[in-house]
């Protein structure tokens, strides 16, 4: 079947292949279990997303842009858990509160404070991840690895958010060896965080690994992998 230019048979093959690779890699993971498969759905039509939820068992999706998420939100299959995985500006926070199960990209106190303020006003607590710039790239957002633990702990001052763990992106085009190095380093931060977690933090989360790196990420202990191209093909802007 073709939906909005997407071949559902090809997508099914992609889902099956990715899940098989994740299962194999999970055997080497310190967690001993496969991570959640989060489909990165930037530019993917809502009809295709919903088809994947109904027919391929998709449970979690991640959007990079607030505007696109808002355009899709009311039409999404209600079974889907919606994550926000892109850079987030303070003035867009209000659109995410109550609509997302997890915000993956908190890297400064002002943003955390705004998420907390909006959440308290709505009478909820919002789950967030601290974004770590694991390779300390000047072009990327995120806190430095050396500051990640202290920053995460400092966010306990905000009653409207709950820090669940960390998210990172390894440099694009890294070798498999480099991917393992960066993800192993992030996992160490995650383990330290898990050991020191306060009573209000449940089931710590480590979000790392994308289409070109999810196997290495799974082997190094990721609990969520964010995969777009390997599931839906190259991003399309003509739909």
Give the Cβ contact number of residue 220 at 10 Å. Answer: 27
Over 90: is that where the pLDDT of 172 sits? no
236: in domain? no
Average pLDDT of the residues in 146-168:
96
234: in domain? no
72: in domain? yes
Adjacent-strand bridge partners of 131:
167
94: in domain? yes
Q: Is 72 helix (H, G, I), strand (E, B) or coil?
A: helix
CB 219 within 8 A of CB 30: no
Number of domains the chain is built from = 1
Q: Is 208 helix (H, G, I), strand (E, B) or coil?
A: strand
Average pLDDT of the residues in 49-76:
98
207: in domain? yes
- Which residue, chain included where needed, has tokens 């990640």? 148
Adjacent-strand bridge partners of 40:
62
pLDDT at 197: 67
Domain harbouring 120, CATH code: 3.20.20.10
Can you tell me the distance from the alpha carbon of 61 to that of 8, in angstroms, rounded to the nearest whole number? 17
126: in domain? yes
Cα-only R_g, the chain? 17
In terms of residue numbers, what domain contains 25? 2-229
Give the Cβ contact number of residue 196 at 10 Å. Answer: 11
pLDDT-based confidence at 195, cuts 50/70/90?
Answer: confident
6: in domain? yes
Average pLDDT of the residues in 210-223:
98
Over 80: is that where the pLDDT of 80 sits? yes
Over 90: is that where the pLDDT of 8 sits? yes
**97-118 pLDDT, tens digit each:** 999 999 999 999 999 999 999 9
Phi (first) and psi of residue 32, to 5 degrees: 75, 10
57: in domain? yes
pLDDT at 204: 92
Can you tell me the distance from the alpha carbon of 9 to that of 16, in angstroms, rounded to the nearest whole number? 11
């Amino acid at each position: 079947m073709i939906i909005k230019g997407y071949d559902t048979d090809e997508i099914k093959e992609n889902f099956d292949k990715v899940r098989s690779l994740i299962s194999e890699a999970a055997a080497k993971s310190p967690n001993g279990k496969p991570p959640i498969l989060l489909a990165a759905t930037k530019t993917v039509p809502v009809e295709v997303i919903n088809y994947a939820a109904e027919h391929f068992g998709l449970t979690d999706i991640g959007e990079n842009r607030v505007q696109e998420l808002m355009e899709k939100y009311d039409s999404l299959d209600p079974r889907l858990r919606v994550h926000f995985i892109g850079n987030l500006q303070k003035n867009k926070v209000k659109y995410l509160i109550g609509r997302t199960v997890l915000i993956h990209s908190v890297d400064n106190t002002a943003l955390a404070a705004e998420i907390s303020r909006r959440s308290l006003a709505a009478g909820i607590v919002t789950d967030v991840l601290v974004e770590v710039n694991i390779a300390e790239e000047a072009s990327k957002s995120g806190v430095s690895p050396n500051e990640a633990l202290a920053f995460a702990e400092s966010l306990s001052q905000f009653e409207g958010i709950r820090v669940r763990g960390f998210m990172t992106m390894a440099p694009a085009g890294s070798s498999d060896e480099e991917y393992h190095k960066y993800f192993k380093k992030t996992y160490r931060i995650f383990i330290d965080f898990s050991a020191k977690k306060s009573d209000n933090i449940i089931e710590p989360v480590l979000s790392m690994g994308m289409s070109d790196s999810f196997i290495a990420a799974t082997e190094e202990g990721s609990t969520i992998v964010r995969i777009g191209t390997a599931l839906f093909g190259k991003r399309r802007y003509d739909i």
